[in-house]
Amino acid sequence: MSDAALISNPNEEWVLPSRGIVGMACLILAEASIFVIFVVAYIFYMGKSLTGPTPKEVLTLPIFTSICLLSSSLTVHAAVSALSRSKRHLCSLWLAATVLLGGIFLAGTAHEWYDLIYNHGLTISTNLFGTTFYSLVGLHATHVLIGLIMLSLALWFSLRGQMTHEHTEKLEVLSLYWHFVDGVWVIVFLVVYVLGR
């Protein structure tokens, strides 16, 4: 038999969404639902600790590191658009800036935790605040770390000249993840440092 019946309009263009972006959107949805549960647990246990220290006593607003993290969303976006215009050196530069800003954020978290553990005696097992604080902020920091590793890899390829215009979409997928991580920080910041303090 002929397969003429199967063909509708052979000339009609058939474009589908990029699978990378769809896949990343799915991953973000799944990750978001994990974060929601940790945020709910945080809010649910707010003010229910049986012993101190309380958030008010020990937490300080991480303004500077938050600004760093959020601005790294802009720099990663700049890196993608540089690559899409085939400006490879510019792309490397923006990627390096992103990694640097993300690194500052992580260092800030490390410093905060050090201070909490050694100067205020707050650990994950101290009270409900410690339990929910370290797990929520730690989960987010883990995501930052994973993102930083991926971005550093991208930077490495970019510096070696192995990243070209064709990789724009891949870098864009990675940047989506990074935007997500930054977006989550806005929520975590509001819940932990504003609402919960």
Sites of contact with another protein (CB under 8 A): 1-8, 10, 12, 14, 16-19, 22-23, 26-27, 29-38, 41, 44-45, 48-50, 123-125, 127-128, 130-132, 134-135, 139
The least CB distance from residue 193 to another protein, in Å, is: 20
Q: Alpha carbon of 30 to those of 37, 92, 180, 189: distances in Å? A: 11, 30, 12, 21
Residue number with CB closer to another protein (26 or 190)? 26
Q: Residue 127 in 3-state DSSP?
A: coil
The least CB distance from residue 127 to another protein, in Å, is: 7
Residue 150 structure tokens: 């991926």
Is residue 71 within 8 A of residue 101, CB to CB? The reply is: yes
Is residue 154 within 8 A of residue 137, CB to CB? The reply is: no
The residue type of 65 is: T
Residue number with CB closer to another protein (87 or 167)? 167
Residue number with CB closer to another protein (57 or 161)? 57
